[in-house]
């Protein structure tokens, strides 16, 4: 018979409809053998201990980006975080810097507004070819490390510049996407894209703190992409 596995948690709770203020809930949960990842444990809590805890999740495979949260002080995806890598009690909080809707769910409006503001789509007014707009293998390679973003918001909500100005600073996730299209050989809107970012807040609030790169669960480097955009702006002024 396998050994009993009990894990201690401290979980941020706040339901604006009934709580005056947020509080931390201490609880423990007994896991089954199949519970390996943090998300498994949270779902076990909801099944067996307290089903009122509110979280977002969907794919369970690090693809949808919906279960990013702050775990023991660092933003990560619950579904790709192995329980063996976490110290107990495991402290769960919502992503920092965004308004809390309830418990571990934050309001992502600013995050997605900023994402949409960078025109995250290909702009090319040339008549489309019969099949597809081709790229050389080298040009395609330029997009590696950019297109894989799952918009989980772990990076932007780890960034102090985004905490202070979520309505003005695009933030690391949005800027990574801005560069994803600036770097695309098929895109024709380079000047428009750079004009859109040449602003003391939208791009230049990045002070290269690097929290974004430290926390990205997909191993991407928004800080590097932001540096590339700054380089493009400097090059066009000389």
- Considering the complex, state which of residue 45 and residue 68 has its C-beta at the smaller distance from ligand SF4: 68
Letter string b/e over residues 194-203, b meaning 16 or more CB atoms within 10 A of that residue's CB: bebbeeeebb
Report the C-alpha gap between 72 and 201 in whole angstroms.
30
Contacts of 72 (CB under 8 A, 6+ apart): 86, 87, 90, 91
- Considering the complex, state which of residue 205 and residue 222 has its C-beta at the smaller distance from ligand FES: 222
The residue assigned the tokens 């918009």 is 151
- The minimum distance between CB 155 and ligand FES, in angstroms, equals 14
- The minimum distance between CB 106 and ligand FES, in angstroms, equals 15
Q: What are the residues binding ligand SF4 (CB under 6 A)?
A: 149-155, 172-173, 176, 216, 218, 220, 222
For the chain, the residue count is 238
- The minimum distance between CB 72 and ligand FES, in angstroms, equals 17
Contact status: 70 vs ligand FES (CB under 6 A): no
**SS3 labels along 38-65:** HHHHHHHHHHHCCCCCCCCCCCCCCCCC
Q: Which stretch binds ligand FES (CB under 6 A): 18-26, 64-72, 129-137, 224-232?
A: 64-72
Residue 62's nearest CA partner among 89, 82, 35 is 82
- The minimum distance between CB 58 and ligand SF4, in angstroms, equals 15
Binding site partner of 218, from ligand FES, ligand SF4, none, Cβ cut-off 5-8 A by kind: ligand SF4
Where along the sequence are the contacts to ligand FES (CB under 6 A)? 57-60, 62-67, 77, 79
């Amino acid at each position: 018979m396998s050994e009993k596995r009990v894990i201690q948690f401290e979980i941020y709770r706040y339901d604006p409809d009934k709580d005056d203020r947020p509080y931390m809930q201490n609880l423990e949960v007994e896991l089954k053998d199949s519970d390996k990842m943090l998300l498994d444990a949270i779902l076990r809590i909801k099944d067996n201990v307290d089903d009122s805890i509110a979280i977002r999740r969907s794919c369970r495979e690090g693809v949808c980006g919906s279960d990013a949260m702050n775990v023991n002080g660092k933003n990560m995806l619950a579904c790709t975080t192995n329980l063996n890598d976490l110290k107990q009690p495991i402290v769960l909080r919502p992503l920092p810097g965004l308004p809390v809707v309830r418990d571990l769910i934050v309001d992502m409006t600013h995050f997605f507004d900023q994402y949409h503001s960078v025109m995250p789509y290909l702009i090319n007014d040339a008549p489309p070819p019969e099949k597809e707009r081709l790229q050389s293998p080298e040009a395609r390679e330029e997009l590696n490390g950019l297109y894989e973003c799952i918009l989980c918001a772990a990076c932007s909500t780890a960034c102090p510049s985004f905490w202070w100005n979520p309505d003005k600073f695009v933030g690391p996730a949005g800027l990574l996407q801005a560069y994803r299209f600036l770097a695309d050989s098929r895109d024709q809107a380079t000047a428009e894209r750079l004009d859109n970012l040449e602003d003391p807040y939208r791009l230049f609030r990045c002070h290269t703190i690097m929290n974004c790169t430290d926390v990205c669960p997909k191993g991407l480097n928004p800080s590097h992409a932001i540096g590339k955009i700054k380089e493009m702006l400097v090059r066009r002024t000389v």
